[in-house]
Structures are given as C-alpha cells and as structure tokens.
Amino acid sequence: MRFTVLPLLMVMIVPASAQDASEAPRRGNVLSVRGTGQFAGKPDLARVDIAIVTRGKTLDGAVDAHREPTRRTQENLKSLETAGVTVEKSVFRLNRASEPYRTADNPNPKPPDQPFTAITEMTLTVPSVGSVDDAVNRLAASGIVEVRKVTYAVASERQALNEARRAAVLDAREQARIYAEAADLKLVEITEITDGEASPPDGYADMPRSRVAQIIPPAVVTFSAGVTIRWRIAPR
C-alpha cells in the first residue's frame, strides 16, 4: 500500500503546484482603472418634502393636536390633484423628548413643557416643473406644514443613470489606453468589471422663507456613476 499511494499523491501535487507557478506572473500583469461619468438632463418633475409637526404634554395630547392640521393638509393636497400632485411617500411617527442633562451649572434642568411630538412626513411628486412654485407656496401659505426641501429630477431616471454609467466606462477605457501607451504596453483583454455607485442628483431648493417666495428650478440635474475595470496587459 505504501508503494501504491505515494506515487499517486505525487502525481496530484506536482501538476497543481506547476499550474500555480505558471499563473502567478499572469495574475500580476494587470492594469486596474476607476472611471467616473456624469449625465446632465433637464428636470421635468420635482419632489417636495413636507412635514406636519404637533406637540403635546401627553402622548394622546400630541396625537389629538395632530388630527386637525392633518385633515386640513389632506384638503389642500386634494385641491392640488388637478395639477397632478400626488403623495409618493408618507410616514407617521411619535417622539418623546429625552430628559435634559444635569450639569454643574444647571443641576436641576427644567423638562420641556410638551415632551411628545407627532410628526407626519410626506414626499410629494409634482409632475410639472412649472407647477412647483405655485404648489409649494400654497402649502406654505396654509401655515400648518413645514416645506423642508424641493428636489428636482427627471422622469426617466434609470435611463439617465445608465447614460452616466456609459460615460464612466468610456472614461475608464480612455485612462487605460493612455496608461498603456505611456508604459509601452498593450491592453490584451478585460478581466473584471466592478460596478461603482450610481446616484441621482442631489441639488435642491431650500424651503421658502415667505409665502411669496419664488422657487427657480435648475437648468439641469446631474447624475453620477463610477466603475472599476481591470485589463490584462502585455509588452508591445
């Protein structure tokens, strides 16, 4: 049995080690490049973040105080349906203020008079950029909602992100070509593509400071993407 097993083990081990040795240099002959790309498009819709905030001395008090402004906000939103305004997202939550910290200067801090807060946060979709100013000002004029942010976007967001990805790939290819030419190398083949982050625009308009504030949309919104591509390289 000794004379039979030992040769078999040698047959199995030698080719594996030889294969690893032959592929080691090959794995090292690579060029890795990260490309970035952008795509700018004209905005054709907007998202408006609003909030209804009420406070109370008790949990029930905060909830009861929340009912009327919520009802009035629903009426205001219904009047905006003719302009195509819809509620994309709505979240309700209850918060309780934490106890104030005791310090040497204030060993007995006074707790808040109304520690409970009821909050309804909504994201509204305005399908026409031209209707944003009127919709936001009508909501702000009610005096019962906080208009927190207006973000502009495009309807075909996926297509815009894909265009940014295309630009990122072209950027990576251009970088790789320049590196290879400068080092007197040639790009043999792509061995790996790693998708990076692709993100929608982060530009937005702040909440209006008065009831007559005019909100001016941006000329374009920019989408960004990144990609990492690895080539196998060889001498020319």
Structure confidence by residue, pLDDT tens digits, 2-11: 434 334 333 3
Q: Are 101 and 57 in contact (CB under 8 A)?
A: no
**Domain boundaries defined on the chain:** 29-42+157-235, 45-153
Closest of 141, 145, 129 to residue 221, by C-alpha? 129
CA dihedral 50, 52, 53, 59 (to 10 degrees): -140
Question: What is the total residue count of the chain?
Answer: 236
pLDDT digits (tens, 9 = 90+) for 179-228: 999 999 999 999 999 988 877 766 554 444 445 467 888 899 999 999 99
Q: How many CB atoms lie within 10 A of CB 126?
A: 23
Q: For residue 196, what are the contacts with CB-CB under 8 A and spacing of at least 6?
A: 34, 36, 168, 225, 226, 227, 228
- At residue 15, the pLDDT reads 46
Say which range, 13-22, 128-137, 176-185, 221-230, has the weakest mean pLDDT. Answer: 13-22
Alpha carbon distance 113, 106 (integer Å): 17
Closest of 119, 120, 100, 116 to residue 57, by C-alpha? 116
DSSP-assigned letter for residue 184: T
Alpha carbon distance 128, 218 (integer Å): 13
What are 17's two structure tokens?
A: 């080690």
pLDDT digits (tens, 9 = 90+) for 50-102: 999 999 999 999 999 999 999 999 999 999 999 999 999 999 999 998 877 77
pLDDT band with cut points at 50, 70 and 90 for residue 42: very high
Fold of the domain spanning 29-42+157-235: Translation Initiation Factor IF3 (3.30.110)
Report, as an integer, the average pLDDT of 152-158: 91
CATH architecture of structural domain 45-153: 2-Layer Sandwich (3.30)
